[in-house]
Chain A
Amino acid sequence: MRLIFLFMLMGFQLFAQQSVVDGVVKDAQGQTLPFATVSLKNTKNAIITNADGYYKLTKIPHGEHILVFSAVGFQTLEHKFTVNTSSKTINIQLEASSKELDEVTVKATAQAKVQETKPLSIKSIEIKDVVNQTVLLTDVLDKISGVRIRRSSSLGEASDISINGLRGNAIRVYIDGIPMEFMYPSFDISNLPLGNIKRVDVYKGVLPVDVGSDALGGGINIITEQKAYNTFKASYNIASFNTHLTDINLGLANKNNYFLNASLGYNYSDNNYKMRALVYETNKYEQVKRFHDTYRFLYGSITVGTHSKPWADEFRLSLNLSGGDKEMQNGARITNTAIGEAKYTARNLSAVLKYEKSFSNEKILLRTLGNYTDQSLKFVDTTANVYSWSGSIVGKNQPGEYYLGNTINYTQGLTNRTSIEYRINDKHKLLLSNLYAHQKLTGIDYLKESGERDYLTIPQYLTKNIAGLQYEGLFGEKTTLSGAIKKYDYMLDGAENNTFALVKKNGNFWGWNMGAKYNFSENTFMRASFERGYLIPLFTQFVGNGGDILRNTDLLPESSDNLNIGLSNNHKIGDNIQVSTSLSGFYRQQYNIIYLGSSVFRRYENADQVRTLGGEGDVSVWYKRAVNLKANLTILSKTFTAVLDTRNNYLIGTPFPNYPTTFGNVELSWQKANFLSPKNLIRFYTFYNYIGAFNHILVAASNSPTTTPDAYVPVQHRIDLGCSYKLSKQNLTLSFNIQNLLNAALYDNFLVPKAGINFNGKLIYEINNF
């Protein structure tokens, strides 16, 4: 009965009175502006002006609305209007954005700011604001409070992401809401080209149902962008260690709202930075140059689509082809011999289909995004040669420098996320989202001799389905509440390591989360969120690797309780100073942690319980919209609360090793508009990063960084310096950055050294609306 009522309601809405709004967009001199974007705020109803600056929006329901006009080089303008007739004409004049240039960081991050004021703890960054001083996406993330990216300085190397005390697989990365481990199973977040990324949302703890899957302690959602106007952008980044990153993006659109985007990029690095290592020939720690760490990555993408059609608000189809190879130089730790021949090669073909449509006067929004991925990963490590850090072969050992293998793994995946958002009214909405992910794994072990059965050739499947229903409502004018329930299902269809017999495993469980936000004033709010989250084991954790890691289909999902509380304030002091501050506390209790056991035979096992308690603070001060000081600090403690092996009870209450507990950043920048020439913008910045000393193995009472330095990763201080200059007339942006200015000793996990002082320069050429 309720369903019938809902359909009746929808039908009523469909036949509500509608209007057409049209007009012409001009600049201050009265010249018409083609390719300006005109959109009805908070809807998908948008269009691009034609060559005469003319626009026409249809299906606008009677009532009060806001039109948003934007064009590159002009200030965005919001126009409030009421329509009660069948048509209305609104002509608009846009102001040139000479003023916008010096407000670029303050105003243009509107969408990011909107994200950051939601009940869930989110930090959102617009890539265009940071692209000039950034080489990799991970560089951006590493500057966020509570977030630590640990990776070597080697381009192409995997990153370990930690957010407020949780790390590794507990943190999931998504591309437009699709889990990256299904889209690009072997690629790392640092490999993703910046060119197509619009925004990055970092969820510290709880994720909304239309983004999250089985992340335990937060996630990173990368929002890509497909331009619906003519645009051309090319960038070239040259950096130390023979590093070159290039990408070209071309976007074409016509007045019928069809668009085509093409991207091409190539990254290369020798990664031959200097570091200290024990050299075999001299048996002394010396400065050595990495010699087997070359990385190459080529990608291409083509997207066709349309928007603002009666049948679709947006429809697009993308084909992405990417591939690369990476030499290996070291394992998780730096030992006294180097890896000199092992390497891996990956290829990935993926297709993405996106469809969005709103119904019932924007009350119902349907979004669906499907992805098919076909990937191969080849790993070759067969040499018996032993390499010194000098680069010389110093002897022979058992074959396999990292682990003996000559394998190719094929992963095919089909993923779909479909979300339906229903706005009950202006203050309340429901969101239903379902993520389906299916993965097939096969492979070949070329080291198997004829007649030997190859475990890798047996097709194995993992299917996950995560459905969530979320409610968000505004109560009064100040309180926002949200709550969600999630149903997790998974099915493993694999093979037993010894007998090769087929094995099936199913599981399902429920999770939930809730969030609340209270606005004390327009500029101050407090928020809290809680989630009982689950992490479904990864494919390899269930089935092993067919080699030294055995399967464990009895593995339980890891779970955690996450609590986040935060206070945020944004206020002005006089006319010239703008201060934004936030202070947050977080609590994480992890259960059944999945880890790789080290008994006679290795397999992933559920083990100890760990609690994290911490706080973080953020402050940003703008002076005259020219000088900006940003600082953040995170302090946390991560301790064992229960252990599986009772003989290890002494660990309860002791610090969990290999986890930074104190870290922070300070960035000071100065920018000036109209520098040397009108509309040009110059910006200087200096960045300081601090990471306190932390033990990377379990330590005892007599250990300290001074008495047993080998047990600790020492205090790290990093200073960067850079500048960028935007030449508006020439459509050029130039930037130059120095990283690790003081050539300080920096480390990854387990004391893997990072590069000393290094340089990068970037050239960006961008034209729009040609």
Chain B
Amino acid sequence: MKTNKLLLSVLLFASTIACKTEEPLVTEESKYMEEGYVLSTLSQSTASNAFYIGHYSTIPGDNIDMTTKSSYEYFYPRATWKNFMFGQSLKNEQTLSKQAVLKSTGLMTEVASIPLLSYVWDVEIINENLGVYTTGVNHSVHLFNPTTMEKLGDIDMSKAMDIPANDRNNYNTIIYRKQDNKLFLPLYTDNSKTGNFYDSQNVYVEVVNLTTKQWEKTLTIEQAMYPISRGLENSMVDESGNIYILTQGSYGLDNQLGINAAKRSRPQILKIPANSTEFDATYKFNPVDAIGLNSLLVQLAMGTIYHENGIAFAAVSGQSNSARVLELVGKLANGTITAVEYQELSNSVFNDPDQRWVKLDLNAKTATIIQDIPLTAAYAYPFSYKYDSKFYFNVNNANLGLNGYYVYDPITGKASKAINIAKGGVVNHFIKLTK
């Protein structure tokens, strides 16, 4: 009897434990916002620059007053993973900062950070446990865990391409190709003593194997310059693994101007084919020429974002330059431009609303202007996002009172105004948070 009672007790105890383990797990509710949108603007004045940042439960819409939100010293996330943003710290510290929106206050907060020796340049989140970041330190490529914000190690880039005459040799853009688990890192090489932004006539791309965590090789393609997109540096990797890289050219700073300018000095899209770690030397595509504006003295192309089936989008030069710009370009070509005029030229090229958002067919090498979206300024970086199968394109045109985002539906091919800032600076980021 005693034995039975004992067995019964053991069984009861065991069943109790078993029941406990079968109970649903109580997950701790996140203290960070997991839905909604983060919108930011940059405010510049005599006193200082500040970033206004606000959280919205739905897409903010028209007539937005950012001054009702909160301001911070810095906000430039280079990657978003679910409801976390990764970039330089809100206090402009040299850290890789993981940021989120507090549920309790709706304010931005830093969740964790990794100290850096220089400012963060680009971030790519591979999965929950692996991320890659580059910094202003030459040839710096590092691995980290985006969940724990633990630094996992450095990639040895000692065999990577280096141009000693240029004081800057680092990576502004991280491209990840999941098909072979490799990183492609276009080299940004610049000599600060020259007026150019890029000091080479070739483009170099470093290949890093993330499986072995080793540098693998350097790809070179001649007659192309400045491989960045000046937007969010969204990767253009198609479903097969073809990689498309936008290069800026020289903006005419090397006196290569107009229709007879060297091709390297004008925008081009380059291709690294799927299953290959070499450039396709036969693929070079100028999206500005493709919309029939090959006669422009200076061409710009930026803000690329990939859609599907070889379709991508970019903001490219959309109209002829003003007479003043042409005059200044003439002085630049003659070597008689003054520093102040050079500044005026640069400001005009970047700030005048001369850009159009275009649809690119990377296979057919064609570009089509999205007619619903008016001209936009280039320097208010043409950020582009893809949420819920729709695209959001930054539009900044003071003449038309536009300072926000247009939404584009690739199915209908139609675009309309989605967000417009009435107060609080120039529109900046528009980030969707998810669980």
Interface residues of A (CB under 8 A from B): 278, 280-281, 283, 333, 335-337, 386, 394-399, 404, 452, 496-499, 501, 544, 550-554, 593, 595, 598-601, 603, 607-608, 610, 640, 643, 645-648, 650-651, 654, 656-658, 696-703, 707-708, 710-711
- Contact between chains at B50 and A394 (CB < 8 Å): no
Evaluate contact between A278 and B70: CB separation under 8 angstroms. no
Instruction: Tell me if B15 is interfacial: C-beta within 8 Å of chain A.
Output: no
1/0 contact trace for B168-179 toward A, CB 8 Å?
100000000000
Complexed CA–CA distance, A398 and B45 (Å): 29
- Among the interface residues B67, B118, B167, B350, which one has the most CB atoms of the partner chain A within 10 A? B67
Q: Does B215 contact A (CB under 8 A)?
A: no
Binding site for A on B (CB under 8 A): 43-50, 52, 65-73, 90-95, 105-107, 113-115, 117-118, 136-138, 167-168, 192-193, 335-340, 342-343, 346-347, 350, 379, 398, 403, 423-426
Interface of A is mostly: loop
Residues of the B chain whose Cβ atoms lie less than 8 Å from the Cβ of A699: 50, 70-71
Contact indicator B424/A700 (Cβ below 8 Å): yes
CB within 8 Å for A710 and B90 given contacts A640-B45, A702-B69, A703-B70: yes
A697 to B50 CA separation, bound complex (whole angstroms): 6
B337 neighbours in A (Cβ, 8 Å): 498-499
Checking A336, A337, A603, A607 against B46 with a beta-carbon cut-off of 8 angstroms, the contacting residue is: A607
Chain A contacts of B192 at CB under 8 A? 404
Task: Return chain B residues, CB-CB under 8 Å to A552.
Answer: 340
Known A-B contacts A396-B117, A498-B339; the reply to A707 vs B46 at CB < 8 A is no
With contact pairs A337-B94, A551-B340 given, residues A700 and B66 touching in the complex (Cβ less than 8 Å):
yes
- Give the distance in Å from the alpha carbon of A499 to the alpha carbon of B73 in the complex: 37
Complex Cα distance, B50 from A192, in Å, reads 36
Q: Which of A600, A650, A656, A711 contacts B379 (CB 8 A)?
A: A600
The answer to whether B67 touches A650 (Cβ under 8 A) is yes
Give A608 to B398 CA distance when docked, in angstroms: 19
Minimum CB–CB distance from A165 to chain B (whole Å) comes to 13
Q: Which of A452, A497, A646 contacts B338 (CB 8 A)?
A: A497
**Which of chain B's residues have a CB closer than 8 A to the CB of A700?**
52, 66-71, 424
Chain B hits for A283, CB < 8 A: 95, 113-115
Q: Given contacts A283-B113, A651-B43, could you give 10 more A-B pairs where the C-beta distance is less than 8 Å?
A: A280-B117, A335-B92, A404-B192, A496-B339, A554-B340, A598-B49, A608-B45, A646-B398, A656-B46, A708-B70
A656/B47 contact (C-beta < 8 A), A336-B94, A386-B117, A701-B68 known: yes
A707 and B107 contact, CB distance less than 8 A:
yes
**Within the assembled complex, what's the spacing in Å between the Cα atoms of A439 and B337?**
28
Q: Are A610 and B46 in contact (CB under 8 A)?
A: yes
B115 touching A702, Cβ below 8 Å: no
B48 near A697 with CB under 8 A, answer yes
Tell which of B46, B117, B167, B347 touches A593, judged by Cβ atoms closer than 8 Å. Answer: B46
Residues of chain A lying within 8 A (CB to CB) of residue B425:
647-648
* A598 and B399 alpha carbons, distance in the complex (Å): 22
In the complex, what residue of chain B is closest to A333 when comparing beta carbons?
B92
Residue in A395, A646, A711 whose CB lies within 8 Å of B117: A395
Complex alpha-carbon distance, A598 and B43, angstroms? 11
Interface centre among A643, A646, A648, A700 (most CB of B within 10 A): A700
B residues in contact with A452, CB < 8 Å: 193
By beta carbon, the residue of chain B nearest A281 is: B115
Q: Are B340 and A650 in contact (CB under 8 A)?
A: no
Q: Which chain B residues border A654 with CB–CB below 8 Å?
A: 67
Q: Which of B46, B68, B70, B347 contacts A600 (CB 8 A)?
A: B347
If A397-B136, A700-B70, A711-B71 touch, does A650 touch B423 (CB 8 Å cutoff)? yes
Name the residue on A nearest B342 (C-beta).
A498
Which chain B positions have C-beta within 8 A of A711? 71-73
For residue A550, give the distance in angstroms from its CB to the closest CB of chain B: 5
Contact partner of B346 (CB less than 8 A), chosen from A395, A600, A698, is: A600
B168 touches A398 (CB 8 A): yes
Least CB distance from A273 to B in Å reads 22
**B338 touching A398, Cβ below 8 Å:** no
Given A278-B115, A336-B95, A396-B117, are A601 and B343 also a contact pair (CB < 8 Å)?
yes
Q: How far is the CA of A550 from the CA of B71 in the complex (A)?
A: 30
A residues in contact with B350, CB < 8 Å = 600
Closest residue of chain A to B70 (Cβ to Cβ) is: A702
CA distance A386 to B336 in the complex (A): 39
Residue numbers in B under 8 Å from A404 (CB-CB): 192
8 residue pairs bridging A and B, Cβ less than 8 Å apart: A337-B117, A397-B118, A498-B338, A551-B339, A553-B340, A647-B426, A699-B71, A708-B71
Contact A335 B93 (CB under 8 A): yes
Q: Which of A281, A386, A656, A702 contacts B107 (CB 8 A)?
A: A702
The 3 closest A-B pairs by CB, nearest first: A497-B339, A650-B423, A702-B70
With A598-B49, A645-B44, A700-B424 known to touch, is A544 a contact of B117 (CB < 8 Å)?
no
| B193 cross-chain contacts in A, Cβ below 8 A | 452
B43: contacting residue among A496, A648, A658, A703, CB under 8 A: A648
**Contact call B343/A708, Cβ cutoff below 8 A:** no
Please give the distance in Å from A506's CB to the nearest CB on chain B: 18
Distance A553 CA – B70 CA, assembled complex (angstroms): 38
Does B136 contact A398, Cβ atoms closer than 8 Å?
yes
A280 to B118: give the CA distance in the assembly, Å.
11
A701 to B52, CA, bound (A): 10
With A335-B93, A336-B94 as known contacts, state yes or no: A698 contacts B342, CB within 8 Å.
no
Contact check, A697 vs B137: say whether CB atoms are below 8 A apart: no
Name the residue of chain B whose CB is nearest to the CB of A600.
Answer: B346
* Residues of chain A within 8 A of B168, CB atoms compared: 398
Bound-state CA distance A725–B249 (Å) is 75
CA of A640 to CA of B44, assembled, Å: 13
Of chain B, the residue at the smallest CB distance from A548 is B192
Closest partner residue, chain B, to A599 (CB atom): B347
CB of A600, distance to nearest CB on chain B (Å): 5
Inter-chain CA distance A544–B167, complex, in Å, is 23
Q: Name the contact of B47 in the complex, choosing from A333, A599, A657 (C-beta under 8 A).
A: A657
Collect the chain A residues with CB atoms within 8 Å of residue B68's CB: 700-702
* Assembled-state Cα–Cα distance A122/B423 (Å): 42
Task: Output the least CB separation between A648 and chain B (Å).
Answer: 6
Question: CB-nearest residue of chain A relative to B151?
Answer: A283
Known A498-B338, A647-B403; contact A658-B48, beta-carbon cutoff 8 A: yes
Q: How far is the CA of A595 from the CA of B65 in the complex (A)?
A: 26
Closest Cβ of chain B: how far from A416's Cβ, in Å? 33
The answer to whether B339 and A698 touch across the interface, beta carbons within 8 angstroms, is no
| Assembly CA distance A658 to B45 (angstroms) | 13
Q: Do A395 and B70 touch across chains, with their CB atoms under 8 A apart?
A: no
Asked if B90 and A550 sit within 8 Å, CB to CB, the answer is no
Contacts of B339 in A (CB 8 A): 496-498, 544, 550-551, 601
Q: A394-B117, A708-B107 are in contact. Are A643 and B45 (CB under 8 A)?
A: yes
A540 to B275, CA, bound (A): 56
Look across to chain A and name the residue whose beta carbon is closest to the beta carbon of B423: A650
